[in-house]
Amino acid sequence: MTCILYPILHYPPVIGGLEQWSQNIAERQPGDIEIFIVTGKVLGEPNFEKKGNVTIVRTSFFALSDLSHSSIIYIATAVPFIFLRSLLLSQNARAFHCHGFVSAIMGYFLSALTGKPFICTEQSIKLRNPALRHVAGVAYGKAAVCIGSSGAVEEEFKKMGIRKITAIPNGVDLEKFTNVRGRTSRIDSPFVILSVGRLEKVKGHKYLVEAFADIKKEIPNARLILVGDGSERDNLEKQADELGIGGAIEFAGEILHDELPRWYHGADVFVMPSLSEGFGITAIEAMASVLAVVATRVGSLPEIVRDGETGILVERGNAEQIYSAVLRIYRDETLRLTLEENGKREVQKFDWRNSATEVYKIYLSLV
Here the CATH number for the domain that contains residue 292 is 3.40.50.2000
* pLDDT per residue as tens digits for the range 188-235: 558 999 999 989 999 999 999 999 999 999 999 999 999 999 899 999
Structural domains counted in the chain: 2
For the ranges 13-22, 140-149, 162-171, the maximum mean pLDDT occurs at 140-149
Residue 133 has pLDDT above 80, yes or no: yes
Give dist(CA 205, CA 222) in Å, integer.
Answer: 17
Q: Where is 58: in which H helix or E strand?
A: strand 54-58
Domain limits for position 189: 174-349
For the ranges 52-61, 67-76, 143-152, the maximum mean pLDDT occurs at 52-61
Same domain, 154 and 192: no
Q: What is the chain's Cα-based Rg?
A: 21
Give dist(CA 208, CA 321) in Å, integer.
Answer: 10
Q: Which residues contact 312 (CB under 8 A, 6 or more apart)?
A: 292, 293, 294, 295, 305, 325, 328, 329, 339
Report the pLDDT value the prediction gives residue 18, as an integer from 0 to 100: 85
Taking residues 167-183, report their average pLDDT: 75
Closest CA to 89 of 19, 27, 4: 4
Bridge-based pairing state of the strands 165-167 and 249-253: unpaired
Q: What is the mean pLDDT of the chain?
A: 91
User: Is residue 194 classed as helix, strand or coil in its secondary structure?
Assistant: strand
Whether the CB-CB separation of 200 and 231 falls below 8 Å is answered with yes
Same domain, 145 and 268: no
Report the pLDDT value the prediction gives residue 152, as an integer from 0 to 100: 78
Residue 249 has pLDDT above 60, yes or no: yes
Same domain, 166 and 178: no
Same domain, 35 and 103: yes
Report the pLDDT value the prediction gives residue 292, as an integer from 0 to 100: 95
Residue 360 pLDDT class (50, 70, 90 cuts):
very high
Report the pLDDT value the prediction gives residue 186, as an integer from 0 to 100: 45
Residue 181 has pLDDT above 90, yes or no: no
Residue 126 has pLDDT above 80, yes or no: no
Bridge-based pairing state of the strands 269-272 and 191-196: parallel
Report the pLDDT value the prediction gives residue 185, as an integer from 0 to 100: 43
Same domain, 281 and 210: yes
Taking residues 58-72, report their average pLDDT: 89
Whether the CB-CB separation of 90 and 111 falls below 8 Å is answered with no
Same domain, 21 and 143: yes
Residue 258 has pLDDT above 90, yes or no: no
